[in-house]
Amino acid sequence: MAQIVLDGVTKRYPDGTEGVRNMSLTIEDGEFMILVGPSGCGKSTALRMIAGLEEITDGELVIGDRIVNDLDPGERDIAMVFQSYALYPHMTVRDNMGFSLKLAKVPKEEIAQRVEEAARILGLEDHLERKPANLSGGQRQRVAMGRAIVRKPAAFLMDEPLSNLDAKLRVQTRAELSRLQARLGTTTVYVTHDQTEAMTLGDRVAVMRAGELQQVGTPMELYNEPTNLFVAGFIGSPSMNFLPAKVEGDHVHLPMLDMTPTPELLEELRRIDRVIVGVRPEQIEEAGAPGTKGWPTFDVEIDLVEPMGAETVAYFTVAGEEVHAGQLAEISRDRGGDNRISAGENQVVARLESDSTVQRRSVAKLALDPDKLLWFDADTGARVGIGAALAASV
C-alpha cells in the first residue's frame, strides 16, 4: 500500500528527444489511476519509469516513503503486468507465480500457500502445473495477474493488460479486474490507449499527449470539463463533434444556427482568431423530445441512421469550413486516418432517443442543448469560457 508521486519526471533520450516531459502526478494510496493517450504519447514510458525499466532523466519518483529513482525494479516493491504477459515459457503456472517469492527467499510453504490463494482468487487452481503454452489467452492473462498479486506489492503497474484479449473477453476481464483491485485495495497504475477502458476502470484518469500530461481527473470531470480540444476529442465514444464558429456582432454563427452568448463569453470569443465549438452527440436530440424545451432547433438532412436499440445514432452533414486543429489531427491520425468528409462540410453524430422517427435521406428537425456547448481556440487547443454560461437564442 503506497502513494506514488511523480515530481517533474522527465525522460530524455540520447538524441535529445523527450519521451515524457516534466510530469507531475500524485497517485493516492489505493487509487486506480489510468494513464491514457494515443500511441507514442509517453504513457508506457512513464509507467516503465515507475517500474524502473527506464531511467529517469530528471525529476523525482517517490513510492511509499522512498525516493526510488536509483533503485532497481526488484527493489521498488511493485508488480507489473505486461501487455504480452511476459510469462516465463519454461516454468509452470505455479513457478511463474512463485518466481518473485522464490527470488526473495520466502519459505517454500509460504510460497505454496500464497500461490494457491492467488490461484483461487483467479480461478486458476486446476492449471497450476501447466505451462503457459497450454493455456488460453484469458488464462494467460490471469496468470500474469496472479504473478502480480502473490507478491502483495505496494503497487500494481499494468501496461495494456487487456489488449491481447478478444473484445468479449476484454469486457468481462475488465469487470473482474475492477472488482479485484477494489477488493485488494492496492494502488494501481494502468496504461491504455482505449478511452473506454480509461473511463470504466479508473478512479482518476491522466490524459497524456506528446510526452505531456494534459489533464488529470475523474472520468466524468474529463468528459464534462475537458481542458483542451485533445482531451475533449479523445474522451468519449462516439467522439465529440467539432464545428467551426464565428463571432458576428453580438451573436455566434454556427454552421446550422446562430446563437447569442453571454457578454462575458462573447468577450472571450472575440479575442480568439478561430473558434471551435464542441458538441457531445447526446446534446443533440430530435426537436420535441423530452427535455429539449427551450433548445434552439434546426432542420437538416440525415445521412445515415443506426438504430442501436437503447438509442439511435444519426449522422448528418453541415456546411461550413472544415475544422483544422493540430490536436484533433493527432487524434484522428492515431485512430487510423481522418474520418471527416471532404472540405466544406462537417459530419456530425447525434445520439437520439431510441423511439426517434428520423429517416435516412429525409429532413429532420433537431434541437441542440445550448448550455453544455464547449468552446475552444483552434490554434492553441485551449478551452475558453470555462464556467461562463451561455444564453442562446435563435
Partner 1 sequence: MTSITPTQATVPPRPKRSGGGSFGRSDRRLAGILLSPALALIALVAAYPIFYAIWLSLNEYSVRVPGLQRFAGADNYREAIGPSFWDAFGNTMLFTGVSVALELVIGLAMAVAMHSAFKGRGLLRATVLVPWATITAVTAITWRSIFEPGLGFAPQVLEKIGIAEDVIWLGENGYAMAVLILADVWKTAPFMALLLLAGLQVIPEDVYEAAKVDGATTWQRFLRITIPLLIPAILVALIFRTLDALRIFDLPKVLTDGSNGTNVLSLLAYQELTDNRLIGLGAALSVLTFVIVMVVSFLYIRFVGGNIKTLAED
Partner 2 sequence: MTATSAGSGPGAIARPSSAARTRARSRRKATPSWVKSVLMWTSIAAIVLFCLFPIYWIVNTSLKAGADLSRGALWPDNPTLRNYRSVLNDGDFLLALRNSAIVATTTTVLSLFVGSFAAYALARLRFPRKALLLGIVLSISTFPVIAIAAPLFKLWTDIGLYDAEYGLGLIIPNLVFTLPLTIFILTSFFREIPRELEEAALVDGATRVQSFTKVVLPLAAPGLVTAALLVFFAAWNEFLFAITLTSTPEARTVPAAIAFFTGSVKFEAPLGTISAASVIVMVPLVVLVLVFQKRIVAGLTAGAVKG
Give how far the C-alpha of residue 70 lies from the chain's centroid of Cα atoms, to the nearest Å. 30
Under a CB-based contact definition with an 8 Å cutoff, are residues 24 and 213 in contact?
yes
| 54 near partner 1 (CB under 8 A) | yes
Question: By C-beta, is 93 or 199 nearer to partner 2?
Answer: 93
Nearest 10 degrees: Cα torsion 91, 95, 100, 101? -160
99's contact among partner 1, partner 2, none, with CB below 5 to 8 A by partner kind, is partner 2
Question: By C-beta, is 48 or 151 nearer to partner 1?
Answer: 48
Q: Is 1 helix (H, G, I), strand (E, B) or coil?
A: coil
Under a CB-based contact definition with an 8 Å cutoff, are residues 370 and 390 in contact?
yes
Q: Which of 121, 256, 260 is nearest to 177 (CA)?
A: 121
Q: Which three cell numbers stand for residue 326?
A: 493540430
Question: By C-beta, is 103 or 319 nearer to partner 2?
Answer: 103
Nearest 10 degrees: Cα torsion 6, 7, 13, 15? 150
| 290 near partner 2 (CB under 8 A) | no
DSSP letters for 188-199:
EEEEES-HHHHH
d(Cα 198, Cα 33) in Å, to the nearest integer?
Answer: 9
**140-179 residues near partner 2, rule: CB under 8 A:** 147, 151, 157
| 304 near partner 2 (CB under 8 A) | no
Q: Which of 104, 175, 304, 329 binds partner 2 (CB under 8 A)?
A: 104
How far CA 247 is from CA of 25, 186, 241, in Å, comes to 38, 50, 19
Number of residues that bind partner 2 (CB under 8 A): 25
Q: What number of CA atoms fall less than 13 Å from residue 333's CA on the CB side?
A: 13
- Taking the complex as a whole, how short is the minimal distance between the CB of residue 17 and partner 1, in angstroms? 9
Among the listed ranges 7-15, 219-227, 287-295, 324-332, the one in contact with partner 1 (CB under 8 A) is: 7-15
Question: By C-beta, is 40 or 73 nearer to partner 2?
Answer: 73
Among the listed ranges 49-57, 117-125, 167-175, 336-344, the one in contact with partner 1 (CB under 8 A) is: 49-57
Among the listed ranges 63-71, 85-93, 108-116, 191-199, the one in contact with partner 2 (CB under 8 A) is: 85-93
Q: Which of 35, 36, 44, 302 binds partner 1 (CB under 8 A)?
A: 44
Question: By C-beta, is 151 or 174 nearer to partner 2?
Answer: 151
Q: Is the dihedral of CA 318, 324, 327, 330 positive or negative?
A: positive
d(Cα 380, Cα 14) in Å, to the nearest integer?
Answer: 29
| 52 near partner 2 (CB under 8 A) | yes
- Taking the complex as a whole, how short is the minimal distance between the CB of residue 54 and partner 1, in angstroms? 5
19's contact among partner 1, partner 2, none, with CB below 5 to 8 A by partner kind, is partner 1
267's contact among partner 2, partner 1, none, with CB below 5 to 8 A by partner kind, is none
84's contact among partner 2, partner 1, none, with CB below 5 to 8 A by partner kind, is partner 2
| 388 near partner 2 (CB under 8 A) | no
User: Residue for cell digits 496468470?
Assistant: 143
Among the listed ranges 100-108, 220-228, 313-321, 379-387, the one in contact with partner 2 (CB under 8 A) is: 100-108
Question: By C-beta, is 155 or 243 nearer to partner 2?
Answer: 155
Nearest 10 degrees: Cα torsion 103, 106, 112, 113? -140
| 14 near partner 1 (CB under 8 A) | yes
* Residue 159 main-chain phi, psi, to 5 deg: -110, 95
Q: Which of 186, 230, 251, 203 is nearest to 390 (CA)?
A: 251
55's contact among partner 1, partner 2, none, with CB below 5 to 8 A by partner kind, is partner 1
Under a CB-based contact definition with an 8 Å cutoff, are residues 28 and 188 in contact?
no
Q: Which of 4, 19, 145, 209 binds partner 1 (CB under 8 A)?
A: 19
